[in-house]
Amino acid sequence: MKYAIGIWLTFATWALGGTLDFKELSKEINAEADAMSTSAEFEFTNKTNKAITIKKCDPGCSCVAVRISDGKLRYEPGESGVISAKFDMTNFSGTVDKVIALFLDEDPVDKPSQVLKLKINIPVLVALEPKTLKWNLGASTTSQTIHIKVIEGQTIHVMNVKSSSEAFTLKLNTLEDGKLYDLIVTPNAMETPGIGVFRVETDCKIQKHRIQQAFGVVRKPTPAEMTNKP
């Protein structure tokens, strides 16, 4: 008797807690360097014994536009559909991870039934490492270096470097023209907090990759840094 009740409860939970069955819950896309956008499709089927309504599909970012089977939101048992996601790559490079939260008719507002994952690999033609330099208030004005490296097989020249703030001085060293550069950054004062945006202008033929940015900040040391201070 207990065994029969257990089977019934399992079936009831499955029948009442219906979710859509997706062929894939995650997608990985290798985008072209000059692409401005890329798209992915997530196919699904209602394999439960009741109708399911998609209440909301939230990409969590304005850079992702979502469309559901031309506006169809209710799916009877056995019906299939497609969630299409279009990602605007204009302001991105490198590996970008995005998630799409899928809320069905009975989901709480903060608990989606499913999460779809989208991973986009966008070629980095000009890499800056590190992207952010940090100095602690009151420390010495020691220079730090941002290494600029052009992707293998490309020749891209750094034409100019600029700082948004007079609190930092920049010096560009050419190690291999069109391939490797070092950007030497020196803070001019350490008594007050400050932040600078370092603009690296290149002759890259692809507009979206032509300008690269790095950052410098003078700030109070974190508690962890103070604890580990010799």
73 in the same domain as 131: no
**Count of structural domains within the chain:** 2
Q: pLDDT tier at 23 (50, 70, 90 boundaries)?
A: very high
Q: How does pLDDT run across 195-230, given as a tens digit for each residue?
A: 999 999 999 999 989 999 999 999 987 776 666 565
Which amino acid does the sequence have at 151?
A: I
Among residues 138, 177, 133, 172, the alpha carbon closest in space to that of 154 is found at 177
Whether residue 219 contacts residue 134, with contact meaning beta carbons closer than 8 Å, is answered with: yes
Query: 24 and 104, same structural domain?
Result: yes
**Which of the pair, 141 or 80, is modelled with greater confidence?**
80
For residue 199, which phi and psi values (nearest 5 degrees)?
-100, 120
Going by C-alpha positions, the residue among 37, 39, 44, 19 that lies closest to residue 27 is 39
Residues 132 and 51 in one domain: no
Domain assignment present for 8: no
Assess whether 99 and 135 both reside in one domain.
no
- Residue 43 and residue 74 in one domain: yes
Same domain, 103 and 159: no
Residue 40 has pLDDT above 90, yes or no: yes
DSSP structure class, residue 2:
H
Q: What is the pLDDT of residues 91-111, one digit of tens each?
A: 888 999 999 999 998 899 889
pLDDT at 121 over 60: yes
| Pairwise CA distance, residues 34 & 19, whole Å | 38
Given a cut of 50, whether residue 192 has pLDDT beyond it is yes
Pairing of strands 114-122, 94-104: antiparallel
Q: What mean pLDDT do residues 173-180 have?
A: 98
Q: In terms of residue numbers, what domain contains 26?
A: 20-122
If asked whether residues 70 and 138 sit together in one domain, one would say: no
pLDDT for position 18:
63
Q: How far apart are CA 228 and CA 230, in angstroms?
A: 6
pLDDT beyond 80 at 7: no
Contacts 24+ apart (CB under 8 A), 206-210: 206/33, 206/34, 206/125, 208/34, 208/36, 208/89, 208/90, 208/93, 209/33, 209/93, 209/125, 209/126
Any domain includes 138: yes
